[in-house]
Amino acid sequence: MKNLSAVLLAGGRGTRLQSLTHNKSKSYVSFLGKFRIIDFPLSSLSYSGIKSVGIITQYEPYRLMKYIGNGSSWDLDSFEEGISFLTPFESVNNEITIQKGTANAVLSQIEFIKHSKDEYFLILYGDQIYKIDFRNVLNEHIKNNACLTVLSTTIDNIEEAKRFGVIEKDENDRIINFEEKPDNPKTNNISLGIYLFNKETLLKYLPLANELVDFGKDLIPYILKRENNVFTYTHKGLFVDVGTIESLYDANMYFLDNPKEMDNKGIDFKIYSKPSIDAPIYISKEGKVINSILSDGVSVKGTIKHSLISLNVSVGNDSYIEDSIIMPDAKIGNNVRLKNAIVDEMKEIEDNTVLEFDKPTVVN
């Protein structure tokens, strides 16, 4: 899409995901067996025709950068634009860029924005699950003559709004109040943490991000007090925040129970990922699979029930796995019992182990 570039923040540590991010960024966490979380925002950018994408990294970037490469798996490898990795660097003053917050992270890479010829910039995160056509967002932004558009959605439980930015708007979708993670939310209209800026507006306020370090908590409320053309665009489709173990587990299980949501056949909006080179799925004559998702390279000699088995996982003889998520390259031994377990990548569960939990629990 001409005139619109994107800055994707993918350097989050993801501490609420516990040990799943001990050696990788939250954006690189496995999702639904064959995907990584970052596949979803990258696929949305690709579908929207956005070709210039700057990816800001910080925490454990190696595996993420190797996975994305030049962006060809998402059709983001155009000759003149494509993917740019915006990594921490040493300044002329011998200072190392340490990102203090989301807005400060973008400020540290302000040269990417300054040198762009595009009039609009999308700021988004690499750790959310959604399908969004950003062309519709840009059209509304231009129609409203907005300097900033904040994407939002409506949730059923207003108590859940405490985890997000809460938006109050008028009948024309103009934002009249924005509060990050309030104790007493006034509405159930929440920010997605995705912002569409006019380049002029972004460059006007971004230099303040040394003190106003976070978009949702600091910079957006500051801009709102000084500009009267800040609008919201309400997204009515798929959106899942996967910032906690419970939300990651629930999101995986939602797609397991609603497979049509992830059907890539015969539709324009596909979720792309880096192609797998693992072996085909193998299920022995003793193996049994019930209402589960199996990815390439999986070998099953036990019983799998209502679970997600990721790339290149092996399940031994007489093992029983239920309501669980097994991350890539894990090895499950013989006569193992797992329930409500999330087994981390490349971990081995020894023979005769029994791990049956009342709620989703990471096993590492």
pLDDT at 40 over 90: yes
pLDDT at 14 over 80: no
Beta carbons within 8 Å of 46's beta carbon, 6+ residues apart: 74, 75, 76, 272
> What is the pLDDT confidence band of residue 56, given thresholds at 50, 70 and 90?
very high
pLDDT at 176: 96
pLDDT at 243: 86
pLDDT at 99: 75
pLDDT at 280 over 80: yes
Would you say 320 and 302 are in contact if contact means Cβ atoms under 8 Å apart?
Answer: yes
pLDDT at 169: 97
Of the candidates 190, 188, 245, 198, the residue with the CA atom closest to the CA atom of residue 29: 245
Q: What is the mean pLDDT of the chain?
A: 93
Cα 331 to the center of its chain, rounded Å: 26
pLDDT at 92: 60
Taken in order of first residue, the domains within the chain and their CATH numbers are 4-262 (3.90.550.10), 282-363 (2.160.10.10)
pTM across the whole model: 0.93
pLDDT at 259 over 90: no
Separation CA 29–CA 10 (nearest Å): 11
pLDDT at 95: 66
Report the DSSP beta bridge partners of residue 343. 326, 363
pLDDT at 262: 77
| pLDDT tens-digit readout, 166-179 | 999 999 999 999 99
Of the candidates 115, 129, 134, the residue with the CA atom closest to the CA atom of residue 197: 134
> What is the pLDDT confidence band of residue 317, given thresholds at 50, 70 and 90?
very high
Higher pLDDT, 19 or 85: 85
| pLDDT tens-digit readout, 84-112 | 999 876 666 666 667 789 999 999 999 99
pLDDT at 1 over 80: no
Separation CA 10–CA 55 (nearest Å): 6
Higher pLDDT, 78 or 169: 169
pLDDT at 200 over 70: yes
pLDDT at 364: 78
- The tokens for 258 are 């609603």
Separation CA 126–CA 58 (nearest Å): 12
pLDDT at 198 over 70: yes
Instruction: Name the CA radius of gyration of the chain, rounded.
Output: 21
